[in-house]
Amino acid sequence: MIAAAFHPELFPIETSWWLYGLFCLLILASLYLDLRGKNGKEQVIGHREAIHGVVFWIGLALIFCVGLYFYGRWSFSLDPRLNGFDPSALAKQCSLEFLSGYLIEKSLSIDNLFIFLVVFDFFAIPEKYRYRVLFYGILGAIVFRAVFIALGSILMQISWVPLIFGVFLAFTGLKVAFGPESHPDPSKNVLIRLLKRFLPISPVFHDQRFFVREGVRWLGTPLLLALLFLEFTDIIFAVDSVPAIFAITKEPFLVFTSNIFAILGLRSLFFLLAGMASKFHYLKYALGFILCFVGLKMAWLDHYFDGHFPTTWSLGIILTALFFSGFVSWLFPKKKKTA
């Protein structure tokens, strides 16, 4: 546990600000090329294209993980604060923490697919417009996650905050695993009601536009309502997912990058698994278990293991829970309800 006894940040914002900036530029460039590649056209994302998207974003995250190791090994060897520490061990620790955080966020975000389906069905969003709504929804999610992570990195400096977060995650995990399945009702959302008070909403779609002008006034479209509701639900999910990754690593840079990479692959994953989401009916028990585990890790296990629970163990526990839930879902398929 070389990294366990080391408390200062390995990627302090004072010296690593350019890493944050470069990462954000790469992400924005990828999103721009992705949107430009569609030429602004309305289209339905096919199964093959969705597979290509999922493979691309997962592959990009893995390449980043490998690059993080080599950069860390070089950077840590030049950092005078790290004299006496093995740069390779610290770099390996960072890579494993990134991968563990990525898996947690990816597994938790799968639950978002159910929300996407509910929202698109409720607002009757045609399939050819769904890609555009998800694109801007994820763009907004990146901004909100950055704010949450910045606040979280400040709060984590307070000694009793990890204990509060750990207990909160543990109770959330029990609720996810054993609580009744429910999805938010867009018609009862406070944000949607407030928007309708101040901005008239057109009852029909106007191509892929979020706003339309009729005479002297501007109207919102159903696409705007769907987009805002997706942003609202993502903020709610961030309350669980961001503390969960902070339970794995205290490095804001690793929390930010793993979180963003997991979010970016959601669009392709949605179009790939939209018709299969209901088949993973035991996934909620794995998600509940993972949240309980990271909550216990943050509140107790880290202190028991001299400040840091082994990341390799965390990664193994998370992977085992996900694979086991998928295997059990395949072994015992959900019974179809008769009409």
Q: Is the pLDDT of residue 41 over 60?
A: no
What pLDDT, on the 0 to 100 scale, is given for residue 322? Answer: 81
Ranges of H-type helices in the chain: 13-37, 47-78, 87-122, 127-155, 161-178, 190-198, 222-246, 252-264, 266-273, 283-296, 302-304, 311-331
pLDDT at 339: 46
Predicted confidence (pLDDT) per residue in 155-200, tens digit: 877 878 888 888 888 888 788 778 776 666 666 767 777 777 777 8
Query: Which of 23-27, 63-67, 117-121, 325-329 shows the lowest mean pLDDT across its residues?
Result: 117-121
pLDDT at 65: 94
Does residue 310 carry a pLDDT above 50? yes
Higher-confidence position of 20 and 291: 20
Asked if residue 291 lies in contact with residue 244, where contact means CB atoms within 8 angstroms, the answer is yes
For residue 5, pLDDT over 50 is answered with no
Q: How does pLDDT run across 131-145, given as a tens digit for each residue?
A: 888 888 888 888 888
Average pLDDT, the chain: 81
Percentage of residues of the chain with pLDDT beyond 70:
86
Q: Which residues, at least 6 apart from 236, have a Cβ–Cβ distance to it below 8 Å? A: none
Q: 29-43, 51-65, 299-313: which range is least confident on average?
A: 29-43
Q: Would you give the distance in Å from CA 45 to the centre of its chain?
A: 21
Tell me how far apart the alpha carbons of residues 318 and 173 are, in angstroms, rounded to a whole number. Answer: 14
**In the predicted model, is pLDDT for residue 96 greater than 90?**
yes
Q: What is the pLDDT of residues 278-303, one digit of tens each?
A: 667 777 788 788 888 888 887 878 77
Q: What is the DSSP letter of 201?
A: B
- What pLDDT shows up at residue 1? 36
What is the per-residue pLDDT for 182?
A: 61
pLDDT at 102: 93
Instruction: Tell me the whole-structure pTM to 2 decimals.
Output: 0.81
